[in-house]
Structure 1
Amino acid sequence: MGEDYYLVTSSFEWYPGLPIYHSKDLMHWEQIGHVLARPSQLNLKAGLKHSAGLWAPKIRYHEGVFYVICTAQQAGGNFYVTAKSPAGPWSEPVFLKDAPGIDPSLFFDDDGTCWYTGSINGTKNQDRYPNEDRIYIQKLDLQQGKLVGERKVISTGHAVNAPFAEAPHLYKIGKKYLLLVAEGGTWNNHAVTAFMADSVMGPYVPGIANPVLTHRFLGKQADITTVGHADLVQTPEGKWWSVMLGVRPLDGFTMLGRETFLTPVEFQNGWPVFNPGVGRVLSVEKATGIRPHPFPLEPVRDDFDTPELRNCWNFLRTPYTRWFELADGKLMLQLRPESVKEPVNPSLIARRIQHFNFTASAMMHFKPAREGEEAGLILMQNGANHYRLVKQRRHGKDSLLLYKVDKGRQMVMASLPYKDKQVCLWVVAQGKSYRFYVGSQPEKMMALGEAQDATINSSNHAGGFIGPFIGMYASSNGQKSGNKVSFDYFEYKEGAAFPLQVRKHSLHEIAVRDPYIFPDEKTQTYYLYCATRQKADRPNGKHGLKMYKSRDLKTWEGPYMVYESVDSEWADASHGIWAPEMHEYKGKYYLFATFTNEKSPLPQQFPGRPFLHRRATALLVADTPEGPFVPLTGKPHTPADWMSLDGTLYVENGKPYMVFCHEWTQVTDGTMELLPLSEDLYTPEGTPVTMFRAKDASWVQSLDMYKGKEVEGYVTDGCFLHRNANGKLIMLWSSFGPGGYAVSTAVSVSGSIWGPWKHRPSPLYGEHGGHAMLFKTFDGRLIMTLHYPNGGAEPHARFFEMKESDDTLEIVRELDL
């Protein structure tokens, strides 16, 4: 639809049905609702089996009307609905009683005729080989809501023994009709095949290059498997793209179910070529060439302060009565006899698990009234395969219990007597394992049991087509009950964030390198951001970023984990994250942080020089200073083939820039670089421009040793920009001088970020400490903080009151904190 794109996906036995997404660039998507959001539209009643329900929806547009057509397996068959707007409301379904099979699709020809295609299966007496499904075509009379005219089979697959021909889509490319079909079944042999015809009724000739897309030849070890069920879309510029389903396995296990992927398509000699020059779907694809249009991130925490549930929440089968309530910032569930172990609609509200590594938590208030009543969190593939972390009255005692249900067999994995009504429940997922924690407050958590096997929730183990869900659950287990449970919040975020022991600290008790202070005027709170250093901060071995907060700069509460690293090409979670800098910009909060991956070498290495590997500055974003933060783009802003670090944000005349350091390890004489950013900070604009080199400052000396080897290198570190009361633009930065690691200043001669830069002749602070920044206290004092010492003992933050002179800064005194 012009510059707007809409996507619908299967929802199986979950209600509301068919989530619908909107994009402006095919890369960023926001959910705008569900197609089937009223019980009258979707009859997913008791008895509906796991992974039945809504299969393979397609969305089409014709003459001012949007159409979604879908299969309701075990729930009425094939149907379509219409709407004037993709956001709805959508009509009641029109069921096509004379449309056999599954996977219906619509195609509107040039003359306005609506053609229906579908897949007929289960015709064993006619099959030449097992599962020889048939693709058929027939006119759909939209006025009568039924198929009319001749029904014709137009394909049974591209070759003999090409089973499970499904998901047909028709397109008109020039004067030819293109038919795309899924084949091979929706597991590792899944594929996309193409057929061409001169007439809409055929005959359809299979392409000589079939299958035009598959990952079956990559084997089970591929990073993406099960690729197929493709649809095409053309941009206003005439470029073609395809969406399709696929699976990202983890050590062979389908931990997240099917996901949607995007790949470019070109037409060559009239036939579609998927990802030309590559021939497969990639886990990270090139940009679409459309101006990026990111949407506001969905908050990771739901405080239940909206009139209706957010779009991410789902019910298991259709809820015909309202057994939940949103009121006063709480979600309340009524305890009912229904159990998740039965094919019913239990008191359960859940969301998709989207990450291999994630953290989820909830604050619950619940007092069981009788034996068997339970409420808590659930992580489930289905009723026969799940974990429940619940408070329950069992054998006359209120306890916290961890239940594991594996292929229908229920086991208690851990228990703890617990009388308080309030309890915080916490789950940490790391790949193929779950860990469960409980406590009265998030700061007072304890582990409940050992690490548990998460693969029982994989579709390999549990069966079905979908990924697991996590959410809130309550049941009276067969008894009538008037009891309720309430939840203050539910939080789900990427990354395995283990509970930290939050407590009060003096500044000198906090080990910190590269400290950064963000004074929040709104809350009159100082936030200290730093990287995890001590093993207690990272019990899972992964590095991250933590935060402390204070009202007076003396007493600090924390640590709070605001981001935990995940593995990628440019970041290894077992290596450090450096130098987080917090910046408020256009109502959002951004952390500029340095990520490193020593396992990913740069292409060019230099004999006798330090090993060069991925190191870059990337941006994280959150809605509040307390996070949690998520990657803004999933990739760094600094050049991919540079070793870069210590990026900071500076805005001049409304234009945002990143200033960062190009590592001496790569260029010997380290540089300070300027990189313009887009207004939304999402993309770099152009290439970096060198502002100055380390040796431009007369006080800078070379390193003598690096990792036990003699080396020559001039360091640029820790840049921070400050415009003083006289309008002069001053940069704090660090390097090595006569007294070791040091901080000095440079001033822009022009007064602009573009320089040129005049350097202070000697360090501002030269006593084995550095990486400084400036902030103002709430009473107006200008403070510099840095870490000291730079080597040997654990570093700590030191605070200095500063005085501004014409074109530099001077230390007045160190604060006694």
Structure 2
Amino acid sequence: MLDTHATASAANPVIPGFHPDPSVCRVGEDYYLVCSSFEYFPGIPLFHSRNLVNWTQIGNVLDRPRQLRLPRNTPSSGGLYAPTLRHHDGRFWLIVTNVTPGEGNLVVSATDPAGPWTDPVRLPGVPGIDPDLAWDEEGNCWCTVAGVAQVRIDPSTGETFGEPQEVWSGTPGAAAPEAPHLYRIGDHWYLMIAEGGTERGHGVSIARGTSPNGPFEPCPANPILTHRSTNRPVQNTGHADLVQATDGSWWMVLLGVRPQGGTPGWHILGRETFLAGVTWVDGWPVVGEVNPELPQIPWPLTSVAASAERDDFDTNEFQPSWISLHDRPVEHFTTKERSSWLTLRARGSSLDEPDIILLGRRQQHLSFEARTLVDCSEGTGGLAVRLDERHHYAIEATSEGTVRVIARVGSLRSVAAELPLPEGPLVLTVRTAGAPEPHDSRTGPDSLVFGYEAPDGTTTDVASLDGRYLSTEVAGGFTGRVIGLYASDGAVHFDWFDYRPGPR
């Protein structure tokens, strides 16, 4: 049971920004959590916490090119789907789907979650997506996938034993039974799934049985979590995982979104990781409120300010929060060519191309400002806000002496504004602004204001663009906004990058 005399409160989401499909496990007093990463490299961000609320990224599971094949034509929202992280017999195990043709489900393991992780073991006998791992008392490893089907495997070799068998698949008629997780809790095996689709109808349901294969009896209160048909500020709640804390209390991590603006509501940060308390009543889990505040945390928390990020590129290693599209070849990404500068050498000719050279970080706050000092004397590039190759905005400087703002929305691409480039080093900027007036049912979530700072300290706003077009409701897919540095021609040098949350 949760301690109702909470000692601290915290904000939800506990991992903001594009961090969907969370999976969590506890080892001793330490908690570890992973999320989907789709078309971005390195793959599968991995976080550590001591209290389930304050999370620090300690690495990425698939951080070597031979671990992760993402061809340059991998579309946005392709790549890596829905990992499951578990600890068994002294090792960490992670299973995930790479939806790239010819890849499929794969398993990696490590003794230290910070890495290194093994090269992938392929699972050709395991179909589908959203794979889960669970071990029974005899040491058998069961893999359950969306659908919901189950097969026994050897995760060390990839061998399967028999054919996948269908098990409980949730509410009859409910869309997309997926994200299965199998647990042994007390005298029962529990099979928890997501259903209803990952949009506004998303929810979590659960069933139990006396063996890992069922038969499974559904919870009479299913779905045990959903925000469908409500006006709650957190929507699309689902794709959850359970964990028992060190004090015996139970918790659920799950994905959700924070729609902004008018109708239908636009979520711009992607699906984020939220936390909710869980109690048990008559052998079934009862999920607490999923709100922007966590009112009941029964242990002391570390006070953490809203996270800012500055990188002066003064080391040869990239921080784990940096992501790139598909790969990160050293001939295109380096901090060694010019001391304490990042040099990006172009490959794709624009952000419309899937092989553009981009180094980005997830937008994690509804309000933010990002700045970078750029030298474009040898090429063209700048600062972008990207949702996918068909939905992005950017401010770029060129070696021909101009600075311009480019907008791509669906099949339309335009130069929103273009000005002569000022002399000397140039700081490019992007920040969010409030939704434009007047407010009505069509009002978007925010505006993105692009500009620059000249060497004499003067600031110039070049263009303000409607933020709704960089949202999942417009673009589709499964990802959120990424703030990135890019090169589209020649070589572009960046002295530093600074990201700061704004007031909201």
TM-score, length-scaled by structure 2 = 0.88
2:210 corresponds, among 169, 180, 198, to 198
Structure 1 partner of 2:488: 475
Counterparts of 2:70 and 2:303, CA distance in 1: 34
Structure 2 partner of 1:21: 47
Q: CA deviation at 1:201?
A: 1.3
For residue 455 of structure 1, give the secondary structure of its aligned residue in structure 2. helix
1:433 corresponds, among 447, 462, 465, to 447
Counterparts of 2:164 and 2:398, CA distance in 1: 57
Structure 2 partner of 1:97: 124
One-letter identity of the residue aligned with 1:425: L
Q: Is the 8 A contact 1:22 1:30 kept in 2?
A: yes
One-letter identity of the residue aligned with 1:146: E
Q: CA deviation at 1:283?
A: 1.3
Q: CA deviation at 1:53?
A: 0.7
Structure 1 partner of 2:233: 223
Counterparts of 1:439 and 1:229, CA distance in 2: 43
1:114 matched to 2:138: no
2:500 corresponds, among 493, 510, 530, to 493
1:283 matched to 2:292: yes
Q: CA deviation at 1:330?
A: 1.0
Identify which of structures 1 and 2 has the higher relative contact order when contacts are C-alpha pairs closer than 8 Å and 6+ apart. 2
Structure 2 partner of 1:73: 99
Which shows bigger deviation, 248-257 or 431-440?
431-440
Structure 2 partner of 1:340: 351
Q: CA deviation at 1:440?
A: 2.1
1:367 matched to 2:370: no
Q: Is the 8 A contact 1:30 1:295 kept in 2?
A: no
CA offsets per residue over residues 419-455 of structure 1, 9 Å max, x none? 5352111111125101111132382211113x21111
The count of residues paired between Structure 1 and Structure 2 equals: 461
After the TM superposition, which residues 1-150 of structure 1 pair with which residues of structure 2 at under 5 Å, given as runs? 1-74=27-100, 76-119=103-146, 134-150=147-163
Structure 2 partner of 1:405: 408
Structure 2 partner of 1:237: 247
For residue 66 of structure 2, give the secondary structure of its aligned residue in structure 1. helix
After the TM superposition, which residues 684-703 of structure 1 pair with which residues of structure 2 at under 5 Å, given as runs? none
Structure 2 partner of 1:414: 417
For residue 461 of structure 1, give the secondary structure of its aligned residue in structure 2. helix
Unaligned runs of 5+ in 2: 1-26, 434-444
Counterparts of 1:350 and 1:69, CA distance in 2: 25
Q: CA deviation at 1:185?
A: 0.6
Q: CA deviation at 1:337?
A: 4.4
Counterparts of 2:61 and 2:362, CA distance in 1: 18
Which shows bigger deviation, 288-297 or 47-56?
288-297
Q: CA deviation at 1:150?
A: 4.9
Q: Is the 8 A contact 1:385 1:408 kept in 2?
A: no
Q: Is the 8 A contact 1:241 1:262 kept in 2?
A: yes
Q: Is the 8 A contact 1:7 1:22 kept in 2?
A: yes
Q: Is the 8 A contact 1:29 1:295 kept in 2?
A: no
Structure 1 partner of 2:427: 424
Structure 2 partner of 1:443: 457
Structure 2 partner of 1:611: none
Counterparts of 1:462 and 1:26, CA distance in 2: 32
Counterparts of 1:74 and 1:442, CA distance in 2: 49
CA offsets per residue over residues 526-549 of structure 1, 9 Å max, x none? xxxxxxxxxxxxxxxxxxxxxxxx
Structure 1 partner of 2:341: 330
Counterparts of 2:396 and 2:192, CA distance in 1: 47
One-letter identity of the residue aligned with 1:256: L
Counterparts of 1:360 and 1:257, CA distance in 2: 18
TM-aligned CA distance change 1:297 to 1:208, over 3 Å: closer
Counterparts of 1:333 and 1:66, CA distance in 2: 35
Counterparts of 1:464 and 1:294, CA distance in 2: 34
Q: CA deviation at 1:301?
A: 1.6
Structure 2 partner of 1:595: none
TM-aligned CA distance change 1:452 to 1:204, over 3 Å: same
Q: CA deviation at 1:207?
A: 1.0
Counterparts of 2:190 and 2:205, CA distance in 1: 10
After the TM superposition, which residues 615-630 of structure 1 pair with which residues of structure 2 at under 5 Å, given as runs? none
Q: Is the 8 A contact 2:345 2:487 kept in 1?
A: yes
Counterparts of 2:213 and 2:41, CA distance in 1: 37
After the TM superposition, which residues 542-581 of structure 1 pair with which residues of structure 2 at under 5 Å, given as runs? 565-566=503-504
Q: Is the 8 A contact 2:121 2:155 kept in 1?
A: no
Q: CA deviation at 1:326?
A: 1.0
One-letter identity of the residue aligned with 1:228: G
Counterparts of 2:456 and 2:220, CA distance in 1: 60
Q: Report percent identity of matched pairs.
A: 39
Q: Is the 8 A contact 1:71 1:102 kept in 2?
A: yes
For residue 286 of structure 1, give the secondary structure of its aligned residue in structure 2. strand
Counterparts of 1:232 and 1:224, CA distance in 2: 19
Structure 1 partner of 2:259: 249
1:454 matched to 2:461: no
Q: Is the 8 A contact 2:380 2:492 kept in 1?
A: no
Q: Is the 8 A contact 1:357 1:428 kept in 2?
A: yes
Q: Is the 8 A contact 2:308 2:500 kept in 1?
A: no
Structure 2 partner of 1:377: 383
CA offsets per residue over residues 112-134 of structure 1, 9 Å max, x none? 21111002xxxxxxxxxxxxxx3
Q: CA deviation at 1:335?
A: 2.8
CA RMSD of aligned residues (A): 1.7
Q: Is the 8 A contact 1:383 1:408 kept in 2?
A: no
CA offsets per residue over residues 303-359 of structure 1, 9 Å max, x none? 112221111111011234531211421111113344321222x22101101111110
For residue 101 of structure 1, give the secondary structure of its aligned residue in structure 2. coil
Structure 2 partner of 1:214: 226
For residue 448 of structure 1, give the secondary structure of its aligned residue in structure 2. strand
Counterparts of 2:323 and 2:213, CA distance in 1: 40
Q: Is the 8 A contact 1:404 1:412 kept in 2?
A: yes
Counterparts of 2:76 and 2:161, CA distance in 1: 34
One-letter identity of the residue aligned with 2:189: Y
Q: CA deviation at 1:462?
A: 1.0
1:309 corresponds, among 318, 327, 337, to 318
Counterparts of 1:442 and 1:80, CA distance in 2: 54
2:175 corresponds, among 135, 145, 163, to 163
For residue 294 of structure 2, give the secondary structure of its aligned residue in structure 1. coil
TM-score, length-scaled by structure 1 = 0.55
Q: Is the 8 A contact 2:181 2:192 kept in 1?
A: yes
CA offsets per residue over residues 462-521 of structure 1, 9 Å max, x none? 111111111111112xxxxxx4221111110100xxxxxxxxxxxxxxxxxxxxxxxxxx
Counterparts of 2:349 and 2:71, CA distance in 1: 13
CA offsets per residue over residues 539-589 of structure 1, 9 Å max, x none? xxxxxxxxxxxxxxxxxxxxxxxxxx43xxxxxxxxxxxxxxxxxxxxxxx
Counterparts of 2:156 and 2:273, CA distance in 1: 33
Counterparts of 1:255 and 1:249, CA distance in 2: 8
Q: CA deviation at 1:149?
A: 3.0
1:186 matched to 2:212: no
Structure 2 partner of 1:260: 273
Counterparts of 1:295 and 1:308, CA distance in 2: 25
Counterparts of 1:356 and 1:429, CA distance in 2: 8
Q: CA deviation at 1:151?
A: 2.7
Counterparts of 1:3 and 1:20, CA distance in 2: 17
Q: Is the 8 A contact 2:351 2:392 kept in 1?
A: no
One-letter identity of the residue aligned with 2:415: V
After the TM superposition, which residues 737-816 of structure 1 pair with which residues of structure 2 at under 5 Å, given as runs? none
State which structure, 1 or 2, has the greater radius of gyration over its C-alpha atoms. 1
